[in-house]
Amino acid sequence: MKRWLSITAGWVLALVAMTVRMTCRVRMVDDPRPELAKRGIPHVFAVLHAHQLAGLAAAEKGSAVMVSRSADGEIIVPLIRIGGHVPIRGSSGSGRKGGGSALKALANHVRGGKPAILTIDGPRGPRGHAQKGIGLLAKSTGAVVICAVPVSNRRWILKKSWDRLQIPTPFSRLTIGMSQPMQILPGESLESFASRVAECLSNLEHQYDPAEANAAAAAPQRRRRAA
């Protein structure tokens, strides 16, 4: 019964989100994908969990998206499908249910010539902390990593959630700032690469959305003081 309710809620959310998406204008900034396509280099998007809904607008149709096996993940699946993307259930976090098989499925998808999207700090945070899954995916496929931060000029922000999830509102302008392609350096550890990706996303958020970046950084301190 609970699963049926989650699926129903997911399709309602998907239809609402698709309607919103049709009213939004999207602008890509510093998009490296045309040059990568010319050179035949595969790519993977790294985004924050807070940007997972808006981030789907940046990716090409057919991109694979890792979704947790939680009830919240069940709700997101229809949204991913209706946008023309491929949901893969699991988690990039170490030891979490389905993580290994999901990363393998993502890797196979990328090797097949399609991109993937990974929320580097999902599904439980802390916000902005990158799990090593992004490095595993890049290393196993030879793909470069593109960090992306979507910013809507009008949006709802769930300020009490750990990630401060952002939801664009109808008729908003969505600006998606992208990084230059990142690669694992010779001899670099997965942890080091994950830290570089996290730093890149932090820098992009401070560049394109400084008010929210500062608010997100202050939120954990406020929670600790309240506790």
How does pLDDT run along the chain (227 residues), one tens digit per residue? 556 666 666 666 677 777 777 888 999 999 999 999 999 999 999 999 999 988 887 789 999 998 877 766 777 888 888 888 999 987 655 445 556 889 999 999 999 999 999 999 988 889 999 999 999 999 999 999 999 999 999 999 999 999 999 989 999 999 999 999 999 999 999 999 999 999 999 999 999 999 999 999 998 655 544 43
Q: How far apart are alpha carbons 80 and 172 in whole angstroms?
A: 20
For residue 210, is the peptide bond before it cis, meaning its omega torsion is within 30 degrees of 0? Answer: no
CB 42 within 8 A of CB 142: yes
Q: How many CB atoms lie within 10 A of CB 3?
A: 9
State the pTM of this model. 0.89
pLDDT of residue 134: 96
Cα distances (angstroms) measured from residue 224 to each of 3, 145, 205, 221 = 34, 33, 23, 5
Instruction: Look at strands 116-119 and 64-67 and give their pairing.
Output: parallel
Q: How far is CA 208 from the centre of its chain?
A: 16
Q: How far apart are alpha carbons 69 and 17 in whole angstroms?
A: 21
Of 116, 151, 129, 123, give the one whose Cα is nearest residue 46: 116
